[in-house]
Amino acid sequence: MRPQFLKEGDTVAVIAIASAPSQTQLAANWKAQLESWGLKVKLGKNLTATYPGDFAGTHLQRAQDLQEMILDPEVKAIISIRGGYGTMHTIKNLNLELFKENPKWLVGYSDITILHYALQKMGLESIHGAMCGTFTEEFDGFSQNSLKDALFGNVAAYTTNPHQYNVKGTARGRLIGGNLTLMRNLVATPNDHNFDEPTILFIEDIDERMYTIDSKLWHLRECGHLAKCKGIVVGYFTDTREEDQWQRNVLDLINEYTAPLGIPVMFNFPCGHEHPNASIYLGREVEMSVGESGGVLRFL
């Protein structure tokens, strides 16, 4: 199910579903930026709330903010101000089935992978894209325009440069994924995916040690998820630690898992915890093509 794309005059909601936003994130120019796109902005009641554990309010408060915005007929998209940690604790207090009755875009990445995964399990599309807390002076034009284009339905495809670990080929399937850590955490839970339908998997992560990346990829391989993928898109793996001790970098490690699969693999995809950060439609049927000149990810 695909929500309607935005148009000028529509209302978007900004909420905090995981960690509490910093003062810098709250003060960033995201409200003015969204309004410059012709959008109205509605704020979650607990956007500035705090709770021990660096949460943006209690688990119930954060869930209630999201639930209210799902039910609000004026709201056409819900954008998280930041990720961090804690989205998984809201799931038991949410009725995400209401998204089917009130389809609207959910936007975010990192810890928001929990919600993306749940929505894709239900057959809904969402946007893995920039969150409002990143709308700082360093926020680059590509990331900004990519989010706007995704919300307004103007993202058709992305191209990537060649990479030594790319695996040539063409594949088609539904794009799911996001943060590797969160996907591993969801294995064997009600929101895990069985990968029985043709699937293109997108992965990214930040601030992990080499052994944790290794263990998570091992887990996805051993539970059978990687073997069922039709293609894999590799985004940013930012600030990975202990590469010197492992005598190789994180992309070398990822290649050890992806190369033997015999499916197209696209490295160097500009999406995740860095800029430029391309906004992508999760849950959408896509076609990926990888060749000598690089890769193309096309949204169908």
Q: What is the pLDDT of residues 9-62, one digit of tens each?
A: 999 999 999 999 989 888 888 999 999 999 999 999 999 999 999 999 999 999
Any catalytic annotation for residue 126?
Answer: no
pTM: 0.96
Task: Please check the confidence at residue 138 and state whether its pLDDT lies above 70.
Answer: no
Closest CA to 200 of 223, 225, 230: 230
Any catalytic annotation for residue 273?
Answer: yes
Active-site pick, 19, 125, 193, 204? 204
* Average pLDDT score over the chain: 95
Any catalytic annotation for residue 110?
Answer: yes
Active-site pick, 80, 273, 279, 289? 273
Token pair, residue 19, equals 């960690």
Distance, in Å, from the CA atom of 233 to the CA atom of 247, rounded to the nearest integer, reads 24
Note the pLDDT tens digit of each residue in 152-207.
Answer: 999 999 999 999 999 999 999 999 999 999 999 999 999 999 999 999 999 999 99
**Domains defined along the chain, listed by start:** 11-151 (3.40.50.10740), 157-299 (3.50.30.60)
Amino acid at 298: R
Active-site pick, 110, 126, 279, 289? 110
Distance, in Å, from the CA atom of 104 to the CA atom of 119, rounded to the nearest integer, reads 11
Alpha helix ranges (H) inside 72-207:
98-101, 113-121, 141-151, 180-185
- Binning pLDDT at 50, 70 and 90, where does residue 139 land? low
Cα→Cα distances 275→71, 120, 235, 262, Å? 33, 25, 11, 30
